[in-house]
C-alpha cells in the first residue's frame, strides 16, 4: 500500500524558512517522479513543484520559483521541499503526491502558516 507522510509544517514569520519532508513507502520510490501541491485555507488546489525520478529535473510554479527548492533522497525514500523567503500567501496545507504530472497518490498534508 502506498503511504506518503508529510512533516515539517508549522508557524513561521514572514521572510522565514521551513523544510517539509515526505516519507514514502509501499512502492519503489526511486522509480517515480514526485510532486508537491498546496491548498490555502478554504481554497482550491495549486500545483507547486515536481521532481523526476532521477532527481535531475525539477519544476516549479511561477509563484514559488526562486524561493522553493524540491529535492529527494532515494536512500531514505524521502521527498523534500525547502521553502525560503516565505510570505503570508504561502499559508496552506502542503501535500506530497506520487508521480507527475498525474498525481496518483496523495499524503494527508502538513499545514504551513506564515504569520507574524
Partner 1 sequence: EIVMTQSPATLSVSPGERATLSCRASQSVSSNLAWYQQKPGQAPRLLIYGASTGATGIPARFSGSGSGTEFTLTISSLQSEDFAVYYCQQYNNWPPGTFGQGTKVEIK
In angstroms, give the least distance from the CB of 10 to partner 1: 19
In this chain, which stretch among 12-20, 24-32, 71-79, 103-111 interacts with partner 1, using CB under 8 A? Answer: 103-111
Q: Which of 8, 61, 69, 71 binds partner 1 (CB under 8 A)?
A: 61
The residue among 47, 40, 46, 63 whose CA lies nearest residue 113 is 40
Asked if 109 touches partner 1 (CB under 8 A), the answer is yes
Contacts (CB under 8 A) with partner 1, residues 16-45: 37, 44-45
By the criterion CB under 8 A, which residues form the site for partner 1? 37, 44-47, 50, 59-62, 95, 100-109
Amino acid at each position: 500500500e502506498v503511504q506518503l507522510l508529510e512533516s515539517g509544517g508549522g508557524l513561521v514569520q514572514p521572510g522565514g524558512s521551513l523544510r517539509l519532508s515526505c516519507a514514502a513507502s509501499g512502492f519503489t520510490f526511486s522509480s517515480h517522479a514526485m510532486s508537491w501541491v498546496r491548498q490555502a485555507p478554504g481554497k482550491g488546489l495549486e500545483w507547486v513543484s515536481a521532481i523526476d525520478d532521477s532527481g535531475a529535473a525539477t519544476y516549479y510554479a511561477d509563484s514559488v520559483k526562486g524561493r522553493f527548492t524540491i529535492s529527494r533522497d532515494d536512500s531514505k525514500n524521502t521527498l523534500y521541499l525547502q521553502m525560503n523567503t516565505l510570505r503570508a500567501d504561502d499559508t496552506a496545507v502542503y501535500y506530497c503526491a506520487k508521480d507527475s504530472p498525474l498525481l496518483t497518490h496523495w499524503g494527508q498534508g502538513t499545514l504551513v502558516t506564515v504569520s507574524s
